[in-house]
Structures are given as C-alpha cells and as structure tokens.
Structure 1
Amino acid sequence: MKDRPLVLIVDDENRYLQLIAMNLHASGYRTVRASDGTTAIARAEMQDLALVILDVMLPDMDGYEVCRAIREFSTVPIIMLTAKAEIAHKVAGLGAGADDYVTKPFSVDELIARVQAQLRRQESSSRPRPPRVFEADELRIDFDARTVTSDGADVALTPLEFRLLERLAGSAGRVLLANEILNSVWGPGYESADDVLRAAIARLRRKIEIDPDHPRHLITVRGIGYCFGRR
C-alpha cells in the first residue's frame, strides 16, 4: 500500500475533497486532505508527496500563496484547481510555481489524466541516463541534476520553468513553434495558450538572462515561436 503515490488534495469544499479522493483511490493512489492553506503547507512539509492538487480559493490564504510556500522547500508537482477560467488566473498560478491548471467544473477523467501525466514526467526525469550538461556563455544547465547556474551562481527554477528551459535548450538553434512548446511542456489542452507561454518565457528570462530586455538565450521569433540562442 505504501508504495502507491501519495497525493495531497487541498480544497475547502468537502464535496470536491471526497470526489477527487474517491477517484484517485480508484486509480491506484493514496490521498491526504487539507481544507485550508496552513494545514496544506504543514502536510506538504511532513508527508512524502508525489503530487498536490491545490484549490485557489481557501479560507485563510489563497492557493497562490500556498503554492509559493510549498515551492520554498519542495519541487513536488502542483496542479491548481479553481473556478476561475480567465487566462490571467492561469498565468498567476503558473507564475506561483504550479505545473498545471484545471478549471471547475472539471471532468474527473481529465483531472486523473493530468495527474498521471505529471507523475510520468516526474518519473522520466528521475530515471538514470548518461550525464547531460549544456553550456552557453555564462549559463550552465545540468539536465540530470536539474540544476542551472549563471556565472557560477545557482538559479532557482520551478519544475515547470526547468522543463521549459530543457525543451528550448535541448533544441538549441532550432525554432520551435509556440504550440509545439505548449504541448510538450504543459500538455494537451494548452496548445492555444500563447499568453501562458509568453508569461513563462518572461519569468524565465528574468532568471537566466543578464539583460532580460535584450535576451541572448531565449529568443522570440515573431509570428512563429521561440529559439534558444541565435540562429
């Protein structure tokens, strides 16, 4: 039993806690629950979690604050859950460190599929593989250790930001279509979320570029997509 992945569900509505827990159990997962942000953060620190499903609207603090707090000590995949469908809320959630975003009311099948997709990504990133290190000027990316340094200083990236950087740097010199990046980094359903991608690129530039307003690594190819390094 204990080797089954443990998922933390955070929601202040008991019906959603029960609905999600029942379906996760049926899909082979264990669950632990929290109905407020303070409890969620404490359980995330104490439990060996595989994934967090986190509602935005909580009684003591919003889900964005909880997400940022968890990101201070953990890289566990986080799926935000909310009734707000506007793109600005998706951008805010991803900016806080979330890996995915599902809008209420949701299809249980879709939510389970997104949980499985996040855990597959996590598993594939932890598999042994030959050492892979990419260097470009002051930037050094260790794909296996999942670390980034700039001029020798550590750069703190969220799991999603690292996946985005890995996707671009892994195809250095090649222009990638925006929808291609969205599909491979965020997954199905995000192919048209250009605003989400632009916001993520902007955050990543602020972290890895010496001058984010004049980037040398993350290059926009207008009307097409993005490229790592100049062609």
Structure 2
Amino acid sequence: MTRLLIVDDNEQITDVLTLYAEKEGFETVAVSCGEDALSAFRANTFDLILLDLMIPGIDGLDVCRQIRKVSDIPIIMVTARSEDYERIMGLEIGADDYIVKPFSPGEVMARVKAVLRRISKSEASGAPLVIFTLNLMIDLDAYLVKINGQTVPLTKRECEILWLLCGNPDKVFTRTELLNRLWGYDYYGDTRTVDSHVKRLRSKISRFEHPLWDIKTIWGVGYKFEKNIKDKKD
C-alpha cells in the first residue's frame, strides 16, 4: 500500500487530506512540525511526503534539505504564499512539485498520483542510466554527475535534465517536451519551471571546465546539448 507522510500544522488541512488520501487507497501519517516530520521519516517507510513550508520548529525547506541528504523520496512542497522565489527555492533543494494554498484536496491527490506515476515509469523504463561523453559522466541511478572527475553538486531534477539532454546530443527539446518528459504530462506547473532549473544547472556546471560541450538555448524553442562549442552565446 502506498504510504504518505503529511506535514502541516493546520489540523483541518491534515484531516481533509487524510480523508481524501484514504479514499484513494493510501495509508497516511500526519504530523504538525518539522521535528516530528524528520522523526516520522526516519522511523517509517513512505512513498511520498506532502510538506508544508511554514511549519513550527524546523521549517519545510530545512526538512526537505535534511531528507534530501539521505533519500530521493518524492516531496511535494505546500506553501501559503505564491512568490516565485519560494517555489524556486523549494524546487532547487529537491522538491518534486509544489502546491500553493488555498487548494482543493482533489487537486492535491491528482498531483500525488502524477508524481508517483512518473517515478514508477522512470524506474520501469530500463533506459541506460550512465552516460560517458567527453569529460562528462552522468549516473542517473546514483544522481551523480562528474566533470573532469570532479563531482558537480546537482539536485535530482538538474541531473535528470542534463541526462536527458546529454543522452540526445543536438536534439532540441522544447520547454513543453522537457516538462512532459521529466515532470509528467499531468504536471500543473508552467514552462518557467524549466527555465529556472536550466539556469541553475548552467550556473553549477560553469564552475567546471567543459570547453567541448554546453547546454545551448534555441531562442523561442528550448534547449539542446551541443558538442564542440566555439562561441558560447546564450
């Protein structure tokens, strides 16, 4: 049975989400603060975490950071505020999706099922998970990227973007295609999510020498992995 950890200090919200989750056949554990969330995570096995950003004690961002040090469990961040920088921060530290309050419980369950389907498809795809090209190595199974033998500290989603682009050199992926391939067809975000992730990915790989390849912007279309870059113009 699929098990969810629901983290929110609003008892009414946890009660409603628990009710809807159980109707979907999910088993749930609900906690109200960051410390309890980490304790529950360490003591149990879950398939996905619904994590409110503004919780007492250790906040949702720090809870996500600590979990990401040891696990790739899907995390959907929930926030009462709609500022882009908060959503971007949550995605940057490893959240798989975000939901802005107020929301409908049905929407939340749709998001949960979408993320779980995407994870399931990824695990069952059987595609090669390790790529070696030029001075770049990507191990998607371990979410490990190295340039010239040096580890590049990327998030899970940044690794997936680089792996997909690198595995299809010179193929241009539109922003919508990247959303569909990596976030899932029923993802509720928009193409700015792709741009934000690619921007951070580029910033991180720019710290390492890679003169023979780069991620190139095709203006008005999307992105591609290009070898033998001579004039790097983005």
Is residue 2:135 matched to residue 1:118?
Answer: no
Matches of 2:127 and 2:119, distance apart in 1: 17
Counterpart position of 2:52: 55
Gap change, CA 1:181 and 1:126, over 3 Å in 2: closer
Offset of 1:72 from its aligned partner?
A: 0.9
Offset of 1:203 from its aligned partner?
A: 2.4
Gap change, CA 1:83 and 1:209, over 3 Å in 2: same
Report the TM-score when normalising by structure 1.
Answer: 0.86
Offset of 1:210 from its aligned partner?
A: 4.4
Report the TM-score when normalising by structure 2.
Answer: 0.85
Gap change, CA 1:165 and 1:213, over 3 Å in 2: closer
Q: Count matched residues.
A: 226
State the identity %.
37
Offset of 1:178 from its aligned partner?
A: 1.8
Structure 2 counterpart of 1:137, one-letter code = L
Higher mean C-alpha deviation, range 115-124 or range 208-217: 208-217
Q: Of the candidates 81, 86, 96, which is equivalent to residue 83 of structure 2?
A: 86
Instruction: Output aligned runs, 1:8-27, within 5 Å.
Output: 8-27=5-24
What are the superposed Cα offsets for residues 37-79 of structure 1, whole Å, 9 maximum, x if unpaired?
A: 1111121122111110000111113211111111111110100
Gap change, CA 1:184 and 1:128, over 3 Å in 2: closer
Matches of 1:202 and 1:214, distance apart in 2: 18
Flag structure 1 segments of 5+ consecutive residues without an equivalent: none
Counterpart position of 1:162: 159
Instruction: Output aligned runs, 1:96-107, within 5 Å.
Output: 96-107=93-104
Is residue 2:195 matched to residue 1:190?
Answer: no
Offset of 1:179 from its aligned partner?
A: 2.6
Matched residue of 2:170: which SS?
coil
What are the superposed Cα offsets for residues 11-41 of structure 1, whole Å, 9 maximum, x if unpaired?
A: 0100111111111111011111110011111
Counterpart position of 2:41: 44
Offset of 1:225 from its aligned partner?
A: 1.4
Structure 2 counterpart of 1:27, one-letter code = E
Matched residue of 2:213: which SS?
coil
Matched residue of 2:199: which SS?
helix
Matches of 2:128 and 2:211, distance apart in 1: 31
Root-mean-square deviation (CA), in Å?
2.5
Counterpart position of 2:202: 205
Matches of 1:168 and 1:7, distance apart in 2: 32
Counterpart position of 1:5: 2
Is residue 2:66 matched to residue 1:69?
Answer: yes
Counterpart position of 2:174: 177
Offset of 1:114 from its aligned partner?
A: 1.2
Flag structure 2 segments of 5+ consecutive residues without an equivalent: 230-234
What are the superposed Cα offsets for residues 128-161 of structure 1, whole Å, 9 maximum, x if unpaired?
A: 7264432222211234554433333444543322
